[in-house]
Amino acid sequence: MDDNHGDSSENQPQSQPSAFEQASLSDYGGDGVDYSPHFQTREVFPTYQAAVDWAREIATPLGFFLTNSSYKKQRNGLPINYMKCDRGERNRGENRDRENATRKNTNSKGCKCTFQISARCLRDMEGWIIKSKKGLKGMHNHPLMVYREGHRQVSGLSPAAKTLVIDMSSAAAKPRHIMAAVKEKFPNESPNKRHIYNVRSRARLDACEGRDVAHQFVHLANEYKYVTWINVDPDTCAITHAFLAHPEMANMLRTYPHVIGMDSTYKTNRYNMPFFELVGVTPTNQNFLIGYAILKSETYESYKWVLEKLQLYIGFEVAPNVFVTDCDWEGRTFCVGRIC
Ligand SMILES: [Zn+2]
């Protein structure tokens, strides 16, 4: 590390650990290098955030992260904000109730690092300047990072990348395709699959606007004008049967009512409820989705309930000639009864 920052290390005496000792500060393996010269600049930043961004861009390649720490007023009344190394001691507030406060065991990596720089607001609010101090406030008492990945300041996606993920997700793109697109468009970011999934689930939660899964299910069905029948267990208020179909597909079925195929998907969902699909066939041998149902159990009664709803949905004057299904299907006797 000393080799990388040769010019800055010249400011320090050879026996650096003694600097920590003099200040009765624990040394967790600091390199004794004064990093304050890296933050000496004459640049005037238009906003405080611009100053923070500049300082973070310097700090991150060096191997540490800066966090906004505290602020106070200068003599002229203008603010001065402090940025600390993220391994410095957290400011927990003077008025904190120390006896009753509880804090999760977060395995804090804080080691009271003293590195600190400040951003001062110039007179007339015309901009911000950055000041750094030599000595303990320019040094770290811990080794600097070699791998940045995984840290909260570099982990995750930028707002622009998140927008891309949300747009592609709403177009039903697969996560691996979304990831490839993010890597291509934002080469400086290092996304992983978890980032993509997190953004997608966050967007889904936002779209729910506080509704739970069942309410969102009904809400979307109503929004897209689906015809729905939903049975609820009176004791637990959980959905036991749900049948959904779109009126446009009903018209299609009335035109081509001859063959109906039906089966449950082999994959189970997170609620372990079989997903039952009803498919029609056109004279040109194309399939179309008539409707689908989510069932609590694959019993004769459940399938009877679905087919009764289908009959209500398409009308009693429409009589399919053929039901196509597999042999071990519980509802087949009911279908046979309908055809006969
Ligand atoms: Zn530090």
State percent of the chain over pLDDT 90: 14
What is the model's pLDDT at position 67? Answer: 87
- Among candidate residues 129, 117, 134, the one with its CA nearest the CA of residue 64: 117
Distance 87 CA to ligand 1 centre (A): 5
Distance 2 CA to ligand 1 centre (A): 15
Beta strands (DSSP E) in 61-186 are 66-73, 79-85, 116-121, 128-132
How do residues 102-118 score in pLDDT, each as one tens digit?
555 555 677 888 899 99
What is the model's pLDDT at position 102? Answer: 57
**Phi/psi of residue 229, nearest 5 degrees:** -125, 130
Distance 140 CA to ligand 1 centre (A): 4
Per-chain residues with Cβ under 5 A from ion ligand 1: 85, 87, 113, 115, 140
Q: Is the per-residue pLDDT at 275 higher than 60?
A: yes
Distance 63 CA to ligand 1 centre (A): 9
What is the model's pLDDT at position 5? Answer: 44
Distance 86 CA to ligand 1 centre (A): 7
State percent of the chain over pLDDT 70: 79
- Among candidate residues 279, 265, 278, 275, the one with its CA nearest the CA of residue 295: 275
Q: How confident is the model at residue 18 (pLDDT cuts 50, 70, 90)?
A: low
Helix-then-strand count for the chain, H and E:
10, 10
Distance 159 CA to ligand 1 centre (A): 28
How do residues 292-339 score in pLDDT, each as one tens digit?
898 888 888 888 888 888 888 888 777 777 777 775 655 555 554 454
Distance 36 CA to ligand 1 centre (A): 12
Q: Which two tokens stand for residue 152?
A: 């909260």
Task: Give residue limits of the domains in the chain.
Answer: 6-90+110-138, 159-208, 213-339
Cα angle 142-2-117, degrees, rounded to a multiple of 5: 55
- Between residues 152 and 1, which one has the greater pLDDT? 152
Distance 234 CA to ligand 1 centre (A): 59
Distance 116 CA to ligand 1 centre (A): 9
- Between residues 91 and 53, which one has the greater pLDDT? 53
**Phi/psi of residue 186, nearest 5 degrees:** -125, 75
Distance 113 CA to ligand 1 centre (A): 5
What is the model's pLDDT at position 188? Answer: 72
What is the model's pLDDT at position 238? Answer: 85
What is the model's pLDDT at position 21? Answer: 58
Q: 6, 33 in Cβ contact below 8 A?
A: no
What is the model's pLDDT at position 334? Answer: 54
- Among candidate residues 302, 301, 334, 300, the one with its CA nearest the CA of residue 320: 334
Q: What is the pTM of this model?
A: 0.49
Distance 267 CA to ligand 1 centre (A): 51
Q: How confident is the model at residue 243 (pLDDT cuts 50, 70, 90)?
A: very high
Farthest CA pair distance, the chain: 99
What is the model's pLDDT at position 107? Answer: 58
